[in-house]
Chain A
């Protein structure tokens, strides 16, 4: 009896072992890419990392040395302005969806559209801003790039704000309302406070998302080889500078591109980790 059954069992066990081995292999395969990419960033980018990177401007082609100071400052400006415009709009829109129109049809439509905007190709956003800002203004400018980034920020912040406000328990709101608090104060003093960590996480994730964005900046801000703080003119920025440097055979530029890539990647990854730990500590409370 057992002699007849055991081949069947052995076969099933073998299939299971193969399938599970493939799952282990898939995980190793996925982690391998992360390790490979981070390793080549460190190997190629770390030797170029020096104070000059933060102090000197981007060099002309076929020169020695130079840094990325103007690009780093330009990127910070674009990100701050972009998030400064996009985050308040996103938070207000998320507030409407979670607090005022929670069960309305408008809210479910907005949620659907917002989810699509969330994954819409960022180059399309660049085309959109080019048509409505760059063409009427007649030139590429920092403000056009910042607006393109704002369009990318909005759906990220809307989504997290709505999700986080929906997690705030209703009895908190009811208790405040029972004391005679007007609705807007209930939202601002009670709901926002309860959801604060989550909303900040959303904004941080949005910062992480836009600080590496290149496609929407290509034909909105262009870039600038020189030091400039004027947002009505083309503005130097890290992603487009890296893009231009890769496309050029100059070895000095290539080295700077790797260092810039290292800076962006580690800035974005640390933002992601900070955002994660914020929600994590909230959950464990």
Chain B
């Protein structure tokens, strides 16, 4: 009798303890869940906050110039009586340098990816991929410095523009986006089912014909996505371009003349700007953000479409 009473007493003590532990665990569970959830939502909030802060900062310039900002090439923050600020030349500079950079980097990147997937001896594949990806690891200020001290004088000696030119900036940008194009092309080439390639080889196609008629058509969407991802990078690249582009707010007359880009304009003038001048620079930043947002969003949607196709 006493025995039973004691065990039931012990049991109730144990169950009380158990309930307390469970309660504590449940509490910990809820806390952890909400911590992760808040962190996740704050990522969304971050993008919104960036957008809103840019719009607020750009508002004075936006109301002052409106759409004229996009068509005015004159940039005279100290003009009397009123400063004239037009974003046309940085916008044009950004588009030209990014476009020329892709014109150089896309064929080279595709060539490297074809080399890596079709020609390269397996032993060399990893070292070469890693070496190309190292190009993406080098900080952009190093590219700027190298372009300024080494590449610029080299190009100037050969009559390809001065030390500071849009061409110099485009070439540096091309080197910087090359690893992105290579890595994505290599990855999407790997999604081609081997059977398709083997069938083409089986009917006697050469390597080039297999690439041209099987691999490239099959991976087209992914390749375009990869190129646009690289374009997004090139549009916003700052330090590498600032040193070599010349920071001249005039509409460029040729590829070999100095110019400026949106990011270079912000980097070189923002610290010493105030009032409307600063607001105009933030407006340029907003323009750049919207531009890259659209390009990157399109790129992601295309790559997602390819991933779905590969999964199906």
- Chain B residue numbers with a CB within 8 Å of A100 are 33, 36-37
Whether, in the assembled complex, A92 has its beta carbon less than 8 Å from a beta carbon of chain B, the answer is yes
In A78-127, the 8 Å CB interface with B consists of 88-90, 92-93, 95-97, 99-101, 106-107, 109-110, 112-117, 119-125, 127
- Chain A residue numbers with a CB within 8 Å of B39 are 88-90, 92-93, 95-96
**Nearest Cβ on chain A to B225's Cβ, whole angstroms:** 11
CB within 8 Å for A24 and B115 given contacts A33-B135, A112-B300: yes
CB within 8 Å for A265 and B29 given contacts A26-B111, A122-B236, A154-B46: no
**Nearest Cβ on chain A to B296's Cβ, whole angstroms:** 5
Whether, in the assembled complex, B263 has its beta carbon less than 8 Å from a beta carbon of chain A, the answer is yes
Looking at chain A's contact residues, the main secondary structure is helix
B267–A116 contact, CB under 8 A? Answer: no
- From A10-18, A48-56, A57-65, A171-179, give the one contacting chain B: A10-18
B50–A119 contact, CB under 8 A? Answer: no
CB within 8 Å for A239 and B178 given contacts A23-B119, A119-B232: no
- Chain A residue numbers with a CB within 8 Å of B35 are 92
B115–A27 contact, CB under 8 A? Answer: yes
- Chain A residue numbers with a CB within 8 Å of B130 are 273, 276
Whether, in the assembled complex, A146 has its beta carbon less than 8 Å from a beta carbon of chain B, the answer is no
Nearest residue, chain A, Cβ from B24: A182
- Chain B residue numbers with a CB within 8 Å of A36 are 150
Distance A224 CA – B237 CA, assembled complex (angstroms): 25
Residue B145 contacts which of A120, A125, A151, A257 (CB distance < 8 angstroms)?
A257
- Chain A residue numbers with a CB within 8 Å of B237 are 121
Whether, in the assembled complex, B13 has its beta carbon less than 8 Å from a beta carbon of chain A, the answer is no
Residue A215 contacts which of B54, B56, B209, B239 (CB distance < 8 angstroms)?
B239
Looking at chain B's contact residues, the main secondary structure is helix
CB within 8 Å for A184 and B108 given contacts A33-B135, A96-B37, A215-B263: no
A131–B115 contact, CB under 8 A? Answer: no
Q: How many residues of B contact A (CB 8 A)?
A: 88
- From B63-71, B73-81, B282-290, give the one contacting chain A: B282-290
Whether, in the assembled complex, B49 has its beta carbon less than 8 Å from a beta carbon of chain A, the answer is yes
Whether, in the assembled complex, B44 has its beta carbon less than 8 Å from a beta carbon of chain A, the answer is yes
A37–B146 contact, CB under 8 A? Answer: yes
**Nearest Cβ on chain A to B309's Cβ, whole angstroms:** 17
- Chain B residue numbers with a CB within 8 Å of A128 are 49-50, 53-54
- Chain A residue numbers with a CB within 8 Å of B212 are 19
Distance A257 CA – B119 CA, assembled complex (angstroms): 40
Whether, in the assembled complex, A195 has its beta carbon less than 8 Å from a beta carbon of chain B, the answer is no
CB within 8 Å for A261 and B142 given contacts A125-B50, A184-B32: yes
CB within 8 Å for A40 and B263 given contacts A13-B206, A246-B243: no
A182–B37 contact, CB under 8 A? Answer: no
Nearest residue, chain A, Cβ from B130: A276
Whether, in the assembled complex, B102 has its beta carbon less than 8 Å from a beta carbon of chain A, the answer is no
In A231-285, the 8 Å CB interface with B consists of 239, 242-243, 246, 257-258, 261, 264-265, 268-269, 272-273, 276
- Chain A residue numbers with a CB within 8 Å of B266 are 123, 127
CB within 8 Å for A12 and B44 given contacts A219-B271, A239-B139, A276-B130: no
Instruction: Map CB proximity to A onto B269-293 as digits: 1 under 8 Å, 0 otherwise.
Output: 0110000000000100100110011
Nearest residue, chain A, Cβ from B175: A33
Residue B207 contacts which of A16, A41, A182, A213 (CB distance < 8 angstroms)?
A16
Nearest residue, chain A, Cβ from B124: A27
Whether, in the assembled complex, B137 has its beta carbon less than 8 Å from a beta carbon of chain A, the answer is yes
Whether, in the assembled complex, A30 has its beta carbon less than 8 Å from a beta carbon of chain B, the answer is yes
Whether, in the assembled complex, A185 has its beta carbon less than 8 Å from a beta carbon of chain B, the answer is yes
Residue B47 contacts which of A113, A130, A214 (CB distance < 8 angstroms)?
A113
- Chain A residue numbers with a CB within 8 Å of B37 are 96, 100-101
In B138-196, the 8 Å CB interface with A consists of 138-146, 148-150, 175, 178, 182
Whether, in the assembled complex, A158 has its beta carbon less than 8 Å from a beta carbon of chain B, the answer is yes
Whether, in the assembled complex, A218 has its beta carbon less than 8 Å from a beta carbon of chain B, the answer is yes
Nearest residue, chain B, Cβ from A33: B175
Distance A44 CA – B296 CA, assembled complex (angstroms): 37
- Chain A residue numbers with a CB within 8 Å of B208 are 15-16, 19-20
Whether, in the assembled complex, B5 has its beta carbon less than 8 Å from a beta carbon of chain A, the answer is no
B36–A215 contact, CB under 8 A? Answer: no
Residue A213 contacts which of B131, B139, B175 (CB distance < 8 angstroms)?
B139
- Chain B residue numbers with a CB within 8 Å of A112 are 297, 300
- Chain A residue numbers with a CB within 8 Å of B137 are 208, 268-269, 272
- Chain B residue numbers with a CB within 8 Å of A246 are 144-145, 148-149, 243
For the complex of A and B, 10 pairs with smallest distance between CB atoms: A212-B139, A121-B236, A26-B111, A92-B39, A96-B36, A184-B32, A16-B206, A96-B40, A19-B208, A215-B238
Sample 7 A-B pairs with CB under 8 A, ordered by A number.
A92-B40, A96-B39, A130-B270, A183-B33, A214-B238, A265-B139, A272-B133
Beyond A246-B145, A264-B142, 20 extra complex contacts between A and B, CB < 8 Å:
A20-B208, A26-B107, A26-B109, A30-B109, A30-B132, A30-B182, A92-B39, A95-B36, A96-B39, A100-B33, A112-B300, A120-B289, A121-B238, A123-B236, A127-B282, A131-B57, A154-B43, A188-B32, A212-B138, A214-B238
